[in-house]
Every structure is written in C-alpha cells, then in structure tokens.
Structure 1
Amino acid sequence: MLDWVPAADHLDLLAEPVAKAVPDLKIDLRATAIDPGLADTAAFCETYGVAPEDSANCVVVAAKRGGEIRYAAVMVLATHRADINGIVRRHLDARKISFAPMDDAVSLTGMEYGGITPIGLPEGWPVLVDENVTRRDFVVIGSGLRRSKLALSGSDLVTATRGEVLLLTL
C-alpha cells in the first residue's frame, strides 16, 4: 500500500536536486516510499497496483550535432514508446541522438539510475513531455531515488518542468 504524502513536507524522500526544486513549485506534488528493488516500472506497477498508464518514464537523451552534445529529458507513459530517433531527434535539431550513458545520466543529474525525474534537472535541459502524459490526472514518476516515487497530474508535470508538450509517440 502506498502512503502518498506532500513532497514538500518529506524532502528526505527525494534526491538532493529534486529536494532543492520542490519548495519553489506551486503544484500538488506527492511522494511515497517504496522498496528500491521494485523501482523499475513493471515491478513497481505490479507490486503496488498502479496501472502502467498511470506511470511515466523519464529517459535522458544525448543529442549530438557538430561535435556538441546537449542533454534532454523525455517523458512518456509506461504504455508508450517515444520516437527518439525521429520526432525527438528532429525537435532537438540533432544529427545523432542516443540514450545518455548511465554514468553520464547519473553524474549530470545527481540522481540514481532508475529514479531519474524531470524535476530538478540541470538548468537549460529541455524536458519533452508526450501529450499523452498531459492527459493524466494522476501520474507516477521518479523522485531521483530508487526508494521513492512522486505523483502529480500530467498538467502539473508540464508546469513543474516548464516542459514542451509534443506528440512523441507514433
């Protein structure tokens, strides 16, 4: 059973960059502790009774053009796959795009792999939110740590991250 509590009152459940960002947010953001061994989406949803369509994954991508690497976060429902090599690559005006290597994603975000969230990302990173996420009244995302999760509405996710809403799935 998940015990959703106000995230701002439980910053100990959040990775440091997320905890620093939360007090400035003017949204309804909830947090809950989970078993870190069950942080991966499928295991989390099955164990805690959360529908996969109520869970959104954050993917960090590395967009390359002219020797420059730019990072971005892509948010997509667990039931969908983002078109990284097409829509996302073109939107970021990249010649080549790939998932960021795990070590880079962890060191650049200050978050744990498998818990990375778009809240508290480094300044200047674009956050691309699939429009299907924005339609959810309740969506579970990472907290920056594998031992907890955050929940908010899809529209609040866009507000919290100043995200760009796109149709990212085919």
Structure 2
Amino acid sequence: MPRITGAPGPIAAGVVPVVETPSADEDFASIDAALSEAFAGEFTSSAQGAAPLRRTQENGGAVRFVRAPDGSCAGGASCSAPAEGTAELSGVGTRPAFRRCGIAAAFTATLTEAMFAQGAPSVWLEYSGEGSRRVYERIGYRPPAAPPARTSPRITGRCARSPRRRGRRGRRRASPGARVRRLR
C-alpha cells in the first residue's frame, strides 16, 4: 500500500489511507486537534483533550487515525471497550481538506474489526447525516429494525415520533433511525 507522504494538502486519488494506532502524546494531541476541526469547533482542542482518547485505549477500547501528508492527523475515531456484548464507536471525524478520500471508512472499518477481535459480537454508532450514513453502510453497518410508530392521543390521525430513551449511562440516545449496528 502506498503511504501518504509529501506536502500538506489533500490525499492523492488512488492512495490507500494507512490506518495507525496512536502511541505518542503527539499522536493523541493531533487526533484531538483534527476532531475539533472536523466537528467545526463544537469543542476546542486543548492539552487535556488527548487524555480521554488515551484512557479509551488504555481501558480496552481502541483509537485509530490516518496521518495527513504533513504528519498531522487527517482524521480519526475511538471505540469503547466491549461491554454487555457491544462496543460503541464514536467521535468519527475527518478534517474538511481530507474528506471524500476514504479516510473515515478506513479507520472505522479498522476499529470495528479490532473490537470483533476483542470478542465484541456487535459494534454500534450514531450518525449525524446522510453522508456519514452512506460511509457506514458501505463498510457493513445496518440500521436496526425500526420500532412501530406510536400514535399520540393528543395528535389524532398522525404518527408522533417515539420519545427519546435513556441509554445505559443515562445519556439521551438519538432517534431510532440514527443508530446503526454491525454484527459479526
């Protein structure tokens, strides 16, 4: 596989992204900075931002990234350690200059396989839009069967969205259409 090298800028067409496991503090900091940029500043990259990524990896989860031509991170993600038969893949992000090069698909597939190798029978994630949904479906993720629509007594003749449910840790989960799961 050709390795991504050269001057900063988008990855050349036909170059297969090389997925790496971070090991140095600089790698974790670079992933944190790339994810901040990928999510349009929803959070600020900081010196402490790399710590949760490192803890995920140290506690049985996994973190993967693709290096940009300038040595920084083009994109990355993490996956929690398997719990109750499932691992959660989260924080999937690619810097805007490197989108549509297969980077997210490469590290998402690698993380998923890493969790299967650790014994997780399934890996799930939540997506935020149609573009990301297509990436995940191409590498084998499928949405769960949709629950039947519920009719609200206050809204006659129309289906109301089912209420958002609480996840395992008390977090609000997205509506059923936004979750996808890949089974072994």
Report the TM-score range of the alignment, normalised by the length of the smaller protein. under 0.3
Q: Which structure features the higher share of strand residues?
A: 1
Q: Which structure features the higher share of helix residues?
A: 1
- TM-score after normalising by structure 2: 0.26
